[in-house]
Amino acid sequence: MLQRRARITSKGQITIPRDVRRLLGVHPGDDLLFEGSPAGVRMRPLRKDSPFEKYRGIGNPGIGSGRKAIVSYVRKMRGR
């Protein structure tokens, strides 16, 4: 289990240790979400796009992405 220490400045800012930033996969400008529960506070990166978005469509060349494109392709294959 990774444990690192950070100090809060008078402005309420902290520096996230390098090991933690690498573990979270965050970079300057990324957003973090703090979630509170009775067990404690959890911090996680807030992703706007899916990390898998860059792979969309590479497994089916010639077929567009989305339901419409797939239905159209299947209809063409069936001769409709």
Mean pLDDT of the chain: 87
| Residue with the larger pLDDT of the pair 44 and 48 | 44
Q: What is the 3-state secondary structure (H, E, C) of the chain?
A: CCCCCCCCCCCCCCCCCHHHHHHHCCCCCCEEEEEEECCEEEEEEECCCCCCHHHCCCCCCCCCCCHHHHHHHHHHHHCC
Name the pTM for this structure: 0.54
Task: Give mean pLDDT, residues 74-78.
Answer: 88
Instruction: Work out the pLDDT band at 37, boundaries 50, 70, 90.
Output: very high
**Hey, what domains does the chain have and what are their CATH numbers?**
1-48 (2.10.260.10)
